[in-house]
Amino acid sequence: MADERSIKVDRLSVHYHGQTAIRDITFTVSKGMIVGVIGPNGAGKSTLMKAMLGLEKSKGEVLFFGKKINAIRKQVAYVPQRNSIDWDFPVRVEDVVLMGRFMHIPWYKKTSREDRSRAREALEQVGMQDYSNRQIGELSGGQQQRVFIARALAQDADLFFLDEPFVGIDIESEKIIVELLHQLSKEEKTIFIIHHDLSKVEKYFDELVLLNQTLIQAGNVKEVYKPSFLKEAYRGSAAVINEGNEMVVVGP
């Protein structure tokens, strides 16, 4: 069945205290894609992601490869927005990455040597192995983001959800992360990325979900990343300039 190769979101809605956060969002994404979730501030990007993960009361249905979220939780890696983390927390880089292994360890067992070596491997993949003994608050923004990407890698997940991973990080880190994400996509991992900034959208993503409370358009980047749809989503809060073949997006 085609279901096993795709993620289907069907008429997903979330209401807060009678106010609509997102309404009737429907789209389908196939396995192995890098999906950008874009839209202006308050469009409900994080809400959509949380509703897909079953963390928010919602109406509608979400199927991951034909299964409900609860059946595949161990396969879901989540990278939080950087400002949601307490950077003074007494954990070192290696401790954070090891958390990616927690769901694979039964409660009565200790963390094994394999778990530790998987965590170390993940740290090497993001080029942070030299920092494994640092407290996480001592790192730069980009390094912190790489550590959380390493945690997601250590989880050996099939689905990745990243909430604004490129905000406030250096170019070097951004390059490393983007390369890793493309590599993961080649390994048939599906990646959802909330993205705020409209630049580089075409370079980073295979598919886009463009929303502003309701779905504006979803599908292949080339078909969605068009001035008409962007204007509709941003309603004047971004200027879209069409210059021959090149499109320039200004703001928000």
Partner 1 sequence: MIENINSFIFQLMNYPYLQNALFAAVLVGIICGVIGCFIILRGMALMGDAISHAVLPGVVIAYMLGASFFVGAVITGVLTALAIGFISQNSRIKEDSAIGIMFTAMFAAGVVLITALQGTSVDLWHILFGNVLAVSRTDLYFTLGIGIFVLGTIVIFYRPLLLSTFDETMAKATGLPVKWIHYMLMLLLSFVTVASLQTVGIILVVAMLITPGATAYLLTERFSVMLFLSAFFGVFSAVTGLFFSVIYDVSSGASIVLVASVLFAIAFFFAPKQGLVFKMLKKPKNETVAP
According to DSSP, residue 55 is labeled -
Residue 53: strand, helix, or coil: coil
Task: Give Dmax over CA atoms of the chain in angstroms.
Answer: 63
Smallest distance from partner 1 to CB 218, Å: 22
**Nearest approach, Cβ of 246 to partner 1 (angstroms)?**
33
At closest approach, how far in Å is the CB of 228 from partner 1?
A: 35
Closest approach, Cβ 82 to partner 1, in A, equals 10
The least CB distance from residue 163 to partner 1, in Å, is: 8
- The residue (of 42 and 80) whose beta carbon lies closer to partner 1 is 80
* Interface residues toward partner 1, by CB under 8 A: 50, 53, 55, 70, 73-74, 76, 78, 80, 84-86, 89-92, 95-96, 99, 102-103, 105, 107-108, 135, 138-141, 161, 168
Question: For residue 118, what are the CA distances in angstroms to 94, 107, 111?
Answer: 11, 19, 11
DSSP line for 83-118:
GGS-TTSS-BHHHHHHHTTGGGS-TTSPPPHHHHHH
Interatomic CA distance for residues 189 and 151, integer angstroms: 15
Our CB check for partner 1 shows the closer of 80 and 227 to be 80
Output 12 or 96, the one with its CB closest to partner 1.
Answer: 96
Query: How many Å apart are CA 147 and CA 108, to the nearest integer?
Result: 27
Sign of CA dihedral 1, 205, 9, 99: positive
Nearer to partner 1 among residue 55 and residue 241 (C-beta)? 55
Tell me whether residue 128 or residue 210 sits nearer to partner 1 (CB atom).
128
CB 212 within 8 A of CB 233: yes
